[in-house]
Structure 1
Amino acid sequence: MWENLMSVLPRNNKKSRVITTTRMSNVASSRSPRSNGHIYEMESLNDADSKELFSKIIFDHKGKCPKALDEIADEILKKCGGIPLAIITLASLLAKKPKTRKEWKRVKSSIGNACELEGMRQTLSLSFYDLSYDLRNCFLSFSSFPEDYEIDRERLVLRWIAEGFISGKEQQELMEEEGNNYFNELVNRSLIQPIDIQYNGSARACRVHDLMLELIVSLSKEENFITTLNGPECLPMPSKIRWLSLHSNENEVMQVVTNNRRHVRSVSFFPPVAQLPPFVEFQAMRVFDVKGCQFGEHKKMKNMESLIQLKYLNLAYTNVTELPKEIGEVHFLETLDVRNCQIQSLPPSLCQLQKLVRLFVSLGVTLPDKIGKMQALEELSHVAILCNSLNFVKALGELTKLRVFRVDCRYSWLNGKKQAPRQSVSTHEDVLLSSLQNLFKKKNLQSLEIDLTNGSSLVFSLMNPYCPLPQLEELVISNSISRVPRSMRSLKDVIHLEIKLDRMEEEDLHIIRDMSHSLLFLKIHLEITPEERLIIDSEGFECLKQFEFCCVGMGLKFVQGAMPDLEKLDLDIGVRKTMSKYGGFDFGIKNLEALKHVGVKLDCQYAENREIQSAEATIRSGVLPRRNSLDSILGPIVKV
């Protein structure tokens, strides 16, 4: 292995370093003599660092452990053996329990020595058995995914809903909310590792620590919950398998799917699986998730009429080419995801799915004209209007329960199709406007993302006093519009706004400011640099958590008290235009007192080295006063 690795690493004296990690000492010790490498054996945390980590998790990163609990805390930490995962897991468990000696002694007596493998398992199991019944099922479901796999939160929650792991809720929106609460609970208990925490405090995705995954897989086997097949070496299997996850393309493994077709409830395929099973007698299957798999000869879904209980079907990023007309007979289907696969059109029979709640397609896919019959539909994305008929666009206004809608009116998504010549763009937009107005009258639409042809007036027609949008919480305008519509002041409930403008003046900024009382996320993309810097002061933007600004010149200035709750700032700005227009890079970043992260991308085209150095130095000096001893809030400054 090491020889193969060394062969692709150039020896060019650039003083680069490559760091690899492994839990197996024999892998490290077998390194190539040519590598001149050094093995660094990670030591366990010492007593002081263990205590600091333990106390920060339980006492909100502030106080120390009370004297009354100090002795028992030391005894618990001794059992953790300085292993960070064990400390974090136990501390997260104790943080949710009464802070009494009796409770902490009970926890201590339940755990073994984490330095031993069985002791670590016992320590982690304690957190598992502290979960509610539904949450245990959700936690065990992670055994479906491969090691180090990035698991998308939305995908995970929708699978939980289809599996029936979320009980006590009837409406889909409430089940999604509860599923997100479950996800956050597992994060808060440090059972899963969050990835890309967003402005609302929820992570976009997660991973599972490899030791934790070993525990989950082991518990799943004991409970006969989820069976994971990595290859023929995993055989033989239990006589009845209800949840099955395949990570191997071996014929013997694929045969397990067929053998269990009558009682398997959930089937998940992960690359390199390249075979589609014949869907015959799969009456019990509720989840079929093959995201990312590339299949061989058979790229069409066949015999789908037998999937009478299927609720979740994910074909995203596969090379599946066609959905048969029998898809209309899968009457309990709630989620259909065909994003970024090779399906060009969906059959008319799709409209028979009266329980379908979410339909995810790629731009360019043709959908059936009678989509208005799908009265359960709550989320539809991402639809290219010009690839569909006027009847389809009109029928969109009949989707009375639609909450999330992503739509694109750009001509570029025609992909050579003949349904809509260029001159019909305005006709399609007129019909879309009428449909959107109908949807807003139903007062269910909460999220709208729209991308129009340049010069389109649809946004201004939509944002008028006679068409109130009180329920809208998320608005994304991806195409460039001339100015901020004045009527956007009425959008008092919007928490997420992305807008692309030709230019922005003081009035435009004030319109956004006036609608900002509940705004948490704001992204502004400017085509033309303002003549004078626009001032952001203490008025407005009181709740804003994340702000992204893109412009060839940094045309904003933050003064004392601006954006008091802003935690994340991302800038994509040009050096030359900023210097020539405003004479410097001091735009008041030091006045954003709550910042926790700053990301900067500098366009250095036509800029002199002294200007680039000055820009970097000014940004760093503005961030430095709030630099934390543990980590810097300023990420790498990217120069392009």
Structure 2
Amino acid sequence: MFPEDSEIVKERLIRMWIAEGFIQCEKQGKNPFEIGEFYFNELINRSMIQSIYNSLTGMIYSCRIHDMVLDLIRSFSCEENFVTILSDMDSTSPSSTIRRLSLQNGKKSHVMAQATRNLSQRARTVVIFPPAVAQVPAAGSCRFLRVLDLEHCNFSHTDSLKYLGNLYQLRYLRLYSMHISQLPEEIGNLQFLQTLDVRSNPISILPSSVVELRNLMCLDIDETTRVPNGIGNLTCLEQLSLLRIDGSTINIIEELCQLTELRRLWIKLDEWNDKLLGCLHKLQKIQELHIKVHRWPRNIGGLDAWVAPRHLRLLNTEDICWFSTLPTWVNPSFVPVLTWLQIAVRELHQVDLDILGRLPALRFLRLMVDNKNLGILQGLIVSPGSFPCLEFCYFLKFVWPVVFQKGAMPRLTSLSLWWLFYAREARGIGSSDGGLDLGLGNLPSLQDVKAMLRCEGASKEEAEQAKAALTHAAKMHPNHPRHHIDVY
């Protein structure tokens, strides 16, 4: 259904599969999206699709289809009348019964007219791409529609969405970046709706009827879009992002406690609220958790009592929600599938770094500490064998130096040492002769190095020596990584 050479986002594809009924939950304890991820990975393993990795996380984000495979798929699709494609480059003649329609161009033709006339009979899926926005059929005519995807189609000067409430069979509705400012109140009629994506639109508030969508599993909104009271009624929700909570909507935290099926929660608070901790205790299926706090001062210890679920994959608490110390649950036996960790820990010792280094699946680490302000001035060592899968590492406000021993971080490609404090008490750890060798040469996959050294507790000459040592190490590295080293 996607144009040739399209980058197809994995999550978008899986949600469409679910809406079409292609995914059946045969095993107890497995939800449809997890089964869809298994199918997606199978297609990669069988070379049917080509994986595309997120450059920041190192995880598969989307895919492409090779031209020859796409030709084969379209051939089978035409034989089975599976998908009708209308585009400038490649069109299939519409039959009298259209099950799935992909509109990819904007040229009017008798073929296009015939296709849109045939939609009302049996169409289950309609995907429209921006060049074909002028050919959008009246949504109210597609009574059996399950999937409607209009990403990037500009609807700012049309009222075509007013008929959405008539699509009673709709399971999937993607209105991403359509320049719309509101949804019709009748959207509450879509009692089978599972996915609603209205991101990148100037929508200030969702209709109050949204809370009647009891089968909704995925709700994606912008932080500028408010949700109405009653969000706790959506007890099937597995994904909610990005939810903004301010002083006027603080009661939503209590409603979140009812969403016990949540697997992904992205939330932004104007200021920290202790009620959130009690809410998180009840969300035991969380796999991805983002917590942002808009205003200073930073909160220290607010999450200390929280214990993450064992299946946690991603945790991002930014730099304002601080843990007092490294949580005891951050260890390889408790969170074995943790791949992304972005936290601030006020006090960090060598034993804590060693524990982090044993996390078997960790690919991204952004760690901020406050050791210098606590008077902990010794440097830290990244030991051999630690961080076996780490690809991206950000150490913030660490006391100089951090030494990387041979065998540590074998897959690390990007290293950032921001606001790294240079202390005289920590000199001489890197090499036997008291030099400033941090062991960058021991990181065999390194491609990018950034460092910002703050001249605190050191003379300007010593700071420049540290900068020179890092610059020299980067230049001497066999990979010749990109590097930017600065001192202030």
With normalisation by structure 2, the TM-score equals 0.81
TM superposition shift of 1:384: 0.8
1:598 to 2:447 alignment = yes
Change (3 A) 1:174 1:328: same
Rounded to whole Å, the distance in 2 between the matches of 1:254 and 1:603 is 61
Task: Please give the secondary structure, in 2, of the residue aligned with 1:280.
Answer: helix
Counterpart pick for 1:208 among 49, 65, 87: 65
Q: Which residue of 2 aligns with 1:396?
A: 256
Residues 333-367 of structure 1: CA deviation (Å, up to 9, x unaligned): 11111111222211111111111111111111110
Which structure 2 residue ranges, 5 or more long, are not aligned?
429-434
1:202 CA drift (Å): 5.4
Q: How does 1:418-429 map to 2 (within 5 A)?
A: 425=271, 429=273
Q: CA offsets per residue over residues 402-461 of structure 1, 9 Å max, x none?
A: 221111113xxxxxxxxxxxxxx45xx133333333x24xx222321101133243x623
| 8 Å contact kept, 1:454–1:479 | no
Q: What pairs with 1:349-388 in structure 2 (closer than 5 Å)? A: 349-386=209-246
Give yes or no for contact 2:354–2:383 (8 Å, CA) kept in 1: no
Alignment-derived partner of residue 450 in structure 1: 291
Q: Deviations over 1:238-294 (max 9, x none)?
A: 222111111112344376335312311111111223345322132221111111222
For 2:261, the aligned partner's letter is K
The answer as to 2:295 corresponding to 1:436 is no
Bigger shift: residues 367-376 or 491-500: 491-500
2:240/2:265 contact within 8 Å kept: yes
CA gap of 1:525–1:272, structure 2 versus 1, over 3 A, is farther
Return the alpha-carbon distance in structure 2 between the equivalents of residues 181 and 534 of structure 1.
39
Alpha-carbon distance between aligned partners in 2 of 1:263 and 1:169, rounded to the nearest angstrom: 27
Map of 1:93-492 to 2, 5 A cutoff?
144-169=1-26, 173-196=30-53, 203-231=60-88, 234=91, 236-252=93-109, 253=112, 256-275=115-134, 276-298=136-158, 301-386=161-246, 389-410=249-270, 425=271, 429-437=273-281, 439-440=282-283, 443-452=284-293, 453-457=295-299, 460-464=301-305, 467-471=306-310, 473=312, 474-481=314-321, 484-486=323-325, 488-491=327-330, 492=334
Aligned twin of 1:545: 390
Q: State the Cα distance separating 1:377 from its structure 2 match.
A: 0.9
- CA separation of 1:470/1:603 partners in 2, compared to 1, >3 Å: closer, same or farther? closer
CA distance change for structure 1 residues 180 and 254 in 2, over 3 Å: closer, same or farther? farther
CA distance in 2, matches of 1:194, 1:168: 25
Cα distance in 1, alignment partners of residues 464 and 113 from structure 2? 60
Gaps of 5+ in 1: 1-143, 411-424, 625-631
- Residue 332 of structure 1 and its aligned partner are, at CA, apart by 0.9
Once residues 476 and 575 of structure 1 are traced to their aligned partners in structure 2, the CA distance between those partners, rounded to angstroms, is 20
1:197 Cα offset (Å)? 6.4
Q: Secondary structure at the match of 1:557?
A: strand
CA–CA distance in structure 1, aligned partners of residues 9 and 231 of structure 2: 28
Alpha-carbon shift at residue 599 of structure 1 (Å) = 2.8
Rounded Cα–Cα distance in structure 2 between residues aligned with 1:613 and 1:241 = 67
Aligned residue pairs, count: 458
Of 352, 359, 370, 1:511 maps to: 352
- Percent identity between the aligned chains? 29
Q: What is residue 619 of structure 1 aligned with on the other side?
A: 474
CA separation of 1:323/1:514 partners in 2, compared to 1, >3 Å: closer, same or farther?
A: same
Q: Is the 8 A contact 2:353 2:382 kept in 1?
A: no
Correspondent of 1:520 among 338, 341, 362: 362
Q: Is the 8 A contact 2:319 2:368 kept in 1?
A: no
How far the C-alpha of 1:306 sits from its partner, in A, is 2.1
Is the Cα–Cα contact under 8 Å of residues 151 and 205 in structure 1 kept in the other structure? yes
Change (3 A) 1:635 1:263: farther
Inter-CA distance 589–613: structure 2 relative to 1 (3 Å threshold): closer
Contact 1:488 1:512 in 2 (8 A): no
SS in 2 for 1:302: helix
| Code of the aligned partner of 1:257 | T
* Matched AA of 1:475: L
- The letter for the 2-side match of 1:572 is S
TM-score (norm 1): 0.63
Between 1 and 2, higher relative CO (CA 8 Å, sep ≥ 6) is seen in 2
SS in 2 for 1:303: helix
Give the secondary-structure state (helix, strand or coil) at the position aligned to 1:478: coil
Higher helix share: 1
Q: Compute the displacement of 1:227 (Å).
A: 1.5
Q: 1:485 to 1:610 in 2, by over 3 A?
A: closer
8 Å CA contact 2:325, 2:346 repeated in 1: no
In proportion to residue count, which structure has more strand?
2
One-letter code aligned to 1:618: A
Q: Distance in 1 between matches of 2:450 and 2:100?
A: 45
Offset of residue 320 of structure 1: 2.1
- Matching residue of 1:499: 342
After superposition, the Cα gap between the structure-2 partners of 1:504 and 1:366, relative to the gap in structure 1 and judged at 3 Å, is: closer
Structure 2 SS opposite 1:448? strand
Query: How far apart, CA to CA, are the structure 1 residues paired with 2:302 and 2:423?
Result: 38
Q: Secondary structure at the match of 2:318?
A: strand
CA deviations 1:98-138 (Å, max 9, x no partner) are xxxxxxxxxxxxxxxxxxxxxxxxxxxxxxxxxxxxxxxxx
2:268/2:292 contact within 8 Å kept:
yes
